[in-house]
Structure 1
Amino acid sequence: MDYLREIEGKSAHDPFLNRLNQTRTRRCVWIPGPVIVGAGPSGLAVSACLKEKGLPSLVLERSNCIASLWQLKTYDRLRLHLPKQFCELPFMSFPEDFPTYPSKQQFIQYLEAYAKKFDIRPVFNATVVSAEYDQSLGFWRVWTIGLKDDEIDEYVCRWLIVATGENAEEMIPQIEGIDEFGGTVMHTSRYTRGDAFRGKKVLVVGCGNSGMEVCLDLFNHNAIPSLVVRDAVHILPREMLGKSTFGLSMWLLKWLPVSLVDRFLLVVSRLILGDTAKFGIERPQMGPLQVKILSGKTPVLDIGTLDKIKSGNIKVFPGIQRVRHQSVEFVNGNTENFDAIILATGYRSNVPSWLKEKEMFSQKDGLPKRAFPNGWKGESGLYAVGFTKRGLMGASMDAKRIAQHIEICFKSEAKQLSAALISATSLKL
């Protein structure tokens, strides 16, 4: 096959592909419904939406559990940043006794209950290494590799749904001299809690929600945290006027344009939080909602970190110039000693590494080329869910659209097949 020949050509330079090339067994499985790649919240949502319409699907997951990002790569103190009503998946609400902002474990509990309710049984430990549309057959061919060298499977399907999301792989920045540091360097995907850093000076690189929360967690565990703020960022209080900032924003947008809602958010934030620029955190020129719409960058919802910055318990530094042994030199010329560096630098899509398709997804960032709300559908039965940069609400919207569209296609093709069979039977008679 072309795919295996391509593997053979590359294997000499890639240990992973070399392992793949040396396999000797493979099975081919026909899937009557869509194949969904990824068993995170997005994959579960679209599988449930399909099931509600009576359509079967198969979910492939590279890890050994659902929602692997939440279960295996998040810190213990994590909670949903938005109120639970904005984070529900289709057809199932959170339990009433859950708090407004469910904890990590509560959210995982919700997802496990969701999978059980809709009888979603992913194939675990199945890493998709390639997926391509076979023009001659009119079907998608999806290859996975399992835990053992000889576990290669091929799945053939009419529809392929990419649900690996925006956060599939850690983003590790290129920082000059990082290999010389000598102390602990880790991504937040490996950070669980601050116990191991008690009494140590820790530099957190990245000032998104994760970076701010990790700094607060480190301080609460008696570490000495500092924060790198390289770019301008909006920090908003999690709640305004007794309501969630997000919920209040959504309500105001029903009546007012984005520019006025942004102005309101900034005025109230200034009254509640003060001028963040005084503490080394500049705001972007555009308002928080406009930034979110245009770039997908989410404003930070403060849960107490800013107070620690104001009190001097958490220091703020500008961008890093270079790293030296046990120290960091910043772009302003200052140098500071640290015992550890934690990279809160986010995640990225990994779609270009396995999907052999260049029309729907950008090869640069692995996201759909068409902006929300039009990025969910490609050609030849290809779909995307969880790439809206609008969290679980956006994923749920896409999941419903995809299920509805596949249902229409399914019924249409069933009618055509039925008509063809009737015609063939008539000719024989």
Structure 2
Amino acid sequence: MGSCKNQEEEQAKCVWVQGPVIVGAGPSGLAVAACLSEHGVPSVILERSDCIASLWKYKTYDRLKLHLPKHFCELPLMGFPENFPKYPTKYQFISYMESYASHFSIQPRFNQTVQSAKFDTTCGFWTVRTLDFEYISRWLIVATGENAEPLIPEITGMDKFHCPVIHSSVYKSGSVYKNKRVLVIGSGNSGMEVSLDLCRHNAIPHMVARNTVHVLPREMFGFSTFGLAMALLKWLPLRLVDKFLLLVANFILGNTDQFGIRRPKTGPIELKNVTGKTPVLDVGALSQIRYGKIKVMEGVKEITRNGAKFMDGQKKEFDSIILATGYKSNVPTWLKGCDFFTKDGMPKTPFPNGWKGENGLYTVGFTRRGLLGTASDAIKIAKDIAGQWRTAKDSRNYCNSHIVLLKNS
């Protein structure tokens, strides 16, 4: 049992958890904890930050709104307040999650960064270590998600640039960039929205579109594009739905190739299912590109002291660089001795079966299907563990008095 059998000061820090240990107090961790509580199964959430939904609170820009209508973004067992708009703001979403945690009496243990988690084949339990404690449980639920850490690309010459370089995770508002020339690297949803926000604060954004990307209107014929696609998929083949979406998108937005935004050959839904690459849902950036307010650039060849050289031979000077280059999973840094995840920290088993591993290991929030995927995973996991919980013998006395009994935290 590791440190449980060692010195007294270590013994006092060993915590036996009756139910699962959940790593991460974002939407995924909260959803699975709520679903478990409905089955009468206690759990302990370990959160590295000092609050729930820390990614939403600390690493999103001020103008962020949900890209999908609220009914597609609800967590299990509790919907959004009726007075919330169709597309809630980030602050409304945070308040919803806080209400959700309160409603289900979820109280994560904050400032508990998991340093390692490993299954002990000898005793059949997971040992989850933080700086202060060692948690022992029959089940481990990985809820740290696909977006745990900023993805910082290696770009030649970046160390030479003498002006500020930030990742979009620390970008809040374009108000500090007024009249400044800003290079935004990345043309996904974050790159588009940061560029749009810069425009609205009278900055001069240049957005790098190195890769192909699908841009779709957020709504078609008054309906959510996503919702419309989901409805059509019940009746039509995926590729036919993709063709329909692109036909309408070209009618509403025009041919994006003429603006330097090249579409992939694979359709938007098929691409999302195969690679996880999400289409951009346009909320106004494309019109700013059309009017020349956002300038689209080809790939960056090299960063210089004062700006950048591009693949097409252009050279430009900039006052700032914003990396809208996305996020990555951090699971490989702390989950040890487990072959369930790829080196990129994603389940090797594709959706919809990537939620369960071996030896009591579960994952929630790794479906590449947003909060809908999270809700689906949380419900399955809670049902599966509840079945084991009901039939399992009481293991609260597994360890002796060296272990602190944590009844429900």
Instruction: Give TM-score, length-normalised by structure 2.
Output: 0.94
Q: Which runs of 5+ in 1 are unaligned?
A: 4-22, 146-151, 418-429
Q: 2:163 aligns with which of 166, 171, 183?
A: 183
Q: 1:318 aligns with which of 295, 298, 310?
A: 298
Q: Is 2:161–2:303's contact at 8 Å kept on the other side of the alignment? A: yes
Secondary structure of the residue aligned to 1:321 is strand
Letter in 2 for 1:285: K
Q: Is 1:37–1:61's contact at 8 Å kept on the other side of the alignment? A: yes
Higher relative contact order (CA 8 A, sep 6+): 2
How many angstroms apart in 2 are the aligned matches of 1:416 and 1:56?
13
Letter in 1 for 2:198: L
Aligned partner of 1:394 in structure 2 is 373
Aligned partner of 2:350 in structure 1 is 371
Letter in 2 for 1:413: A
> Mapping of 1:47-66 within 5 angstroms?
47-66=33-52
Q: 1:410 aligns with which of 389, 401, 405?
A: 389
1:412 Cα deviation after fit: 2.3
Q: 1:329 aligns with which of 300, 309, 322?
A: 309
1:45 equivalent in alignment to 2:24: no
> Mapping of 1:64-83 within 5 angstroms?
64-83=50-69
How many angstroms apart in 2 are the aligned matches of 1:24 and 1:123?
19
> Mapping of 1:158-307 within 5 angstroms?
158-307=138-287
Q: 1:123 aligns with which of 95, 109, 129?
A: 109
How many angstroms apart in 2 are the aligned matches of 1:414 and 1:90?
29
1:265 Cα deviation after fit: 0.2
Q: Is 2:151–2:325's contact at 8 Å kept on the other side of the alignment? A: yes
Secondary structure of the residue aligned to 1:128 is coil
Question: Which deviations, in whole Å up to 9, do the C-alpha atoms of 1:275-294 show, x marking residues without a partner?
Answer: 00001011000100000010
1:2 Cα deviation after fit: 7.7
Q: Is 1:26–1:154's contact at 8 Å kept on the other side of the alignment? A: no
Aligned partner of 1:87 in structure 2 is 73
Q: Which runs of 5+ in 2 are unaligned?
A: 4-8, 397-409
1:326 Cα deviation after fit: 1.3
Cα RMSD for the two superposed structures: 1.7
How many angstroms apart in 1 are the aligned matches of 2:227 and 2:111?
38
Letter in 1 for 2:300: I
How many angstroms apart in 1 are the aligned matches of 2:207 and 2:179?
16
1:332 Cα deviation after fit: 1.1
Question: Which deviations, in whole Å up to 9, do the C-alpha atoms of 1:16-63 show, x marking residues without a partner?
Answer: xxxxxxx98961000000000000000000000000000000000000
How many angstroms apart in 2 are the aligned matches of 1:82 and 1:198?
30
Question: Measured at CA, do residues 366 and 26 of structure 1 come closer, stay the same or move farther in structure 2, by a change above 3 Å?
Answer: farther
1:416 Cα deviation after fit: 11
Question: Which deviations, in whole Å up to 9, do the C-alpha atoms of 1:326-367 show, x marking residues without a partner?
Answer: 1100111111111000000000000000001332111x2100
Secondary structure of the residue aligned to 1:246 is helix
Letter in 1 for 2:34: A
Q: Is 2:18–2:395's contact at 8 Å kept on the other side of the alignment? A: no
Letter in 1 for 2:206: S
Secondary structure of the residue aligned to 1:414 is coil
1:91 Cα deviation after fit: 0.5
Question: Measured at CA, do residues 410 and 213 of structure 1 come closer, stay the same or move farther in structure 2, by a change above 3 Å?
Answer: same
How many angstroms apart in 1 are the aligned matches of 2:12 and 2:246?
58
Secondary structure of the residue aligned to 2:392 is helix
Letter in 1 for 2:184: V
Secondary structure of the residue aligned to 2:153 is coil
How many angstroms apart in 2 are the aligned matches of 1:92 and 1:115?
10
* 108-117 vs 402-411, greater mean Cα deviation: 402-411
Question: Which deviations, in whole Å up to 9, do the C-alpha atoms of 1:83-102 show, x marking residues without a partner?
Answer: 00000000001011100000
Aligned partner of 2:124 in structure 1 is 138
Letter in 1 for 2:328: R
Aligned partner of 1:27 in structure 2 is 13
Question: Measured at CA, do residues 26 and 320 of structure 1 come closer, stay the same or move farther in structure 2, by a change above 3 Å?
Answer: farther
How many angstroms apart in 2 are the aligned matches of 1:376 and 1:322?
41
Aligned partner of 1:148 in structure 2 is none
How many angstroms apart in 1 are the aligned matches of 2:85 and 2:284?
18
How many angstroms apart in 1 are the aligned matches of 2:94 and 2:395?
42
Q: 2:325 aligns with which of 345, 368, 371?
A: 345
How many angstroms apart in 1 are the aligned matches of 2:11 and 2:158?
42
Q: Is 1:348–1:365's contact at 8 Å kept on the other side of the alignment? A: yes
How many angstroms apart in 1 are the aligned matches of 2:54 and 2:307?
34
Q: Percent identity?
A: 59
Question: Measured at CA, do residues 318 and 27 of structure 1 come closer, stay the same or move farther in structure 2, by a change above 3 Å?
Answer: same
